[in-house]
Each structure stands twice: as structure tokens, then as C-alpha cells.
């Protein structure tokens, strides 16, 4: 079903023959008749600067749902670094062009301002994610996951999707959001999707747009290291592997390692000794100048 956003509200616009909504009231007005027709709603929340990884999430959502909502909102509450927030790419016109290449009659785009999400006071809630937020990103980005939980909870309440799609590049975030759904006692099914990569192996990220071509080539080393870690995982212990990884980055002229961890894929706790029947993943965070990159890989 194609929805003519222009007929719904002045807060909904028809852009590139797409349905773009700037307020939750207009979006919800468009979704109401679809729910009444028992249409399934998929949701892909993004912070914009869309790349092929985002588009792969939208493709999967389109394949599995009658209609898909894509949000484009740079969420201020999940940035613990104000400079990072200020420098985060904002490319809405280009994002809409990319979305327009997909099945636009099935896509509703939600592009709110902060006050539409948060009201007069932009603040974050505090969540108990059962220890998931205390590892890795949680150690280095204070309050980050409370900000993520706050905005995702509000977006879920606005969109009320049946399925929500997130990439495994942010694997810890994916685990947090699955826990959030449990805390909300929500029927939403959270779907994790494989890491999308450039031809050189670099995990696709909106932040990659801030890297030069040379820096992007250098950053591909992160994935090569993770692939080597997967090979070593069968024969070496965690301490040996960690020492090897640190050595790989020690004198790198472009990449600065922030952390490397081998963690239980379920609890995200650091591996001490390998336990049978436990799934593990390796996680890396590294900097190119002030651009922070993360990646991970399943080990078994």
C-alpha cells in the first residue's frame, strides 16, 4: 500500500515520492490504518549517514514485513563526547536519496528533531542491563548505553514495530537492546544482522566517511587481526592472543588500539578460560586520529 504523506499532515512530506514524517503524530497517523489491516511493521533505527550496511538492514526488513519504518535521528544522549556529537555526519538529503532506491512504497521515513523524541528536556533514563553495559564499550563510554536504551525505548513506543533490525557490528548494543525489550516486557522481536564490510574487510560505519582513503585502507587491519585471532583461538589461550593483538598495534603509525577482548557472546564477560559449549566473540575498538572504530567476530 502506498501512503500519500501530504494528505496526512503538514508534518509529513512527500520527498522523492517517499513518505517522510518529521513528527511522531504524523507517523502514527500513517501507521494506524496499516495496523488495522494487520500489516506487519519492521523498524530500522539509524543515526543517518547511511551506507550499504544500513541498506542491507532495510532490505531484510522489507523482505520480512509489509511496511518498514526507517528513522534518521542523531541521538544526543548516547554521546559521552560532545565533540564526537558535533562531528557526527549529518547527510539527510543523501540518506533519502539512498532510501529512495529501495521499495519506497513500503517505507516510511521518520526524521524527528530532538524535542519530538524527548520533549522539552533532553535527558536519559538509567537502566539495569544486568551487567551487559559494564563491559567493553560501557567501560570506555560512560553513560552510553543508558542513552541508547532511552532513545530506543522511545522509538519503540512511537513506532510499535513487530520486528526491529540492528547490525552485529555493534554487537554489545544488540545485546543491550534485546535486554531492553525484556525490561519493557515488549513483544518486539529484535533481529541481529551480519556485519557489512567494504571490499577490504573494513566494517562499514558512518564514521568511515571521516577517514581518508589511505586511513580506510589502514583501518582494514582491524578485521585482518580479528581473522587471525579466530585462527589462534583453537590453539592459544586468551592471554597469549591478547598479547599478540597488542603487539600488532603497538607501533602502528595510523591505528591506536583502545581495547581488545575475548568475551562470552551471551554475557559479554571477558573469557578467562575456555568453557565447553560456550560461544565466544572477539571485540576491538581502535582510533584513527579522533575517529573511533569498532569491530568484532564470532570465534566458534
Choose the catalytic residue: 54, 134, 144, 247: 54
Cell numbers found for residue 197: 564490510
Q: Which domain holds residue 270?
A: 206-298
- Give domain status of residue 13, yes or no: yes
> What CATH number is given to the structural domain containing 250?
3.30.1300.10
**pLDDT, tens digit, for every residue of 287-298?**
999 999 999 999
pTM: 0.92
Q: Where are the alpha helices (DSSP H) in 237-288?
A: 238-250
What is the mean predicted confidence (pLDDT) over 263-272?
95
**pLDDT, tens digit, for every residue of 183-207?**
999 999 999 999 999 999 999 999 9
141 plus 246 within the same structural domain: no
Residue with cell 547527510: 91
Residue 15: pLDDT band with limits 50, 70, 90: low
- 17: alpha, beta or left? (left if phi > 0; alpha if psi -120 to 50): left
pLDDT at 16: 63
Residue 7: pLDDT band with limits 50, 70, 90: very low
Q: Is 54 a catalytic residue?
A: yes
Answer yes or no: is pLDDT of 4 > 80: no
What residues contact residue 279 under an 8 Å CB cut-off, 6+ apart?
Answer: 264, 265, 266, 298, 299, 300
82 plus 172 within the same structural domain: yes
150 plus 235 within the same structural domain: no
Amino acid at each position: 500500500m502506498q501512503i500519500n504523506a501530504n494528505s496526512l499532515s503538514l508534518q509529513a512530506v512527500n520527498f522523492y515520492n517517499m513518505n517522510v514524517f518529521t513528527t511522531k503524530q504524523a507517523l502514527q497517523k500513517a501507521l494506524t490504518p496499516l495496523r488495522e489491516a494487520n500489516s506487519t511493521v519492521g523498524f530500522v533505527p539509524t543515526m543517518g549517514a547511511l551506507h550499504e550496511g544500513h541498506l542491507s538492514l532495510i532490505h531484510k526488513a522489507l523482505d520480512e514485513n509489509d511496511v518498514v519504518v526507517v528513522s534518521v535521528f542523531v541521538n544526543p544522549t548516547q554521546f559521552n563526547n560532545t565533540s564526537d556529537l558535533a562531528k557526527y555526519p549529518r547527510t539527510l538529503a543523501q540518506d533519502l536519496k539512498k532510501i529512495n532506491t529501495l521499495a519506497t512504497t513500503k517505507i516510511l521515513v521518520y526524521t524527528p528533531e530532538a524535542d519530538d523524541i524527548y520533549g522539552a528536556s533532553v535527558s536519559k533514563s538509567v537502566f539495569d542491563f544486568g551487567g551487559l553495559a559494564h563491559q567493553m564499550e560501557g567501560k570506555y563510554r560512560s553513560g552510553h548505553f543508558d542513552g541508547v536504551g532511552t532513545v530506543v525505548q522511545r522509538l519503540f513506543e512511537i513506532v510499535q514495530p513487530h520486528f526491529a533490525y540492528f547490525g552485529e557490528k555493534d554487537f554489545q548494543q544488540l545485546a543491550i537492546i534485546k535486554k531492553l525489550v525484556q525490561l519493557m516486557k515488549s513483544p518486539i522481536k529484535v533481529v541481529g544482522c551480519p556485519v557489512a564490510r567494504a571490499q577490504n574487510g573494513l566494517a562499514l560505519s558512518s564514521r568511515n566517511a571521516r577517514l581518508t582513503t589511505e586511513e580506510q585502507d589502514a583501518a582494514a587491519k582491524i578485521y585482518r587481526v580479528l581473522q587471525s585471532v579466530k585462527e589462534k583461538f583453537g590453539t592459544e589461550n586468551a592471554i597469549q592472543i591478547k598479547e599478540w593483538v597488542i603487539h600488532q598495534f603497538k607501533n602502528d603509525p595510523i591505528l591506536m588500539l583502545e581495547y581488545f577482548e575475548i568475551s562470552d557472546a551471551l554475557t559479554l564477560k571477558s573469557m578467562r578460560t575456555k568453557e565447553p559449549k560456550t560461544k565466544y566473540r572477539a571485540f576491538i575498538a581502535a582510533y584513527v586520529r579522533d575517529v573511533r572504530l569498532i569491530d568484532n567476530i564470532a570465534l566458534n
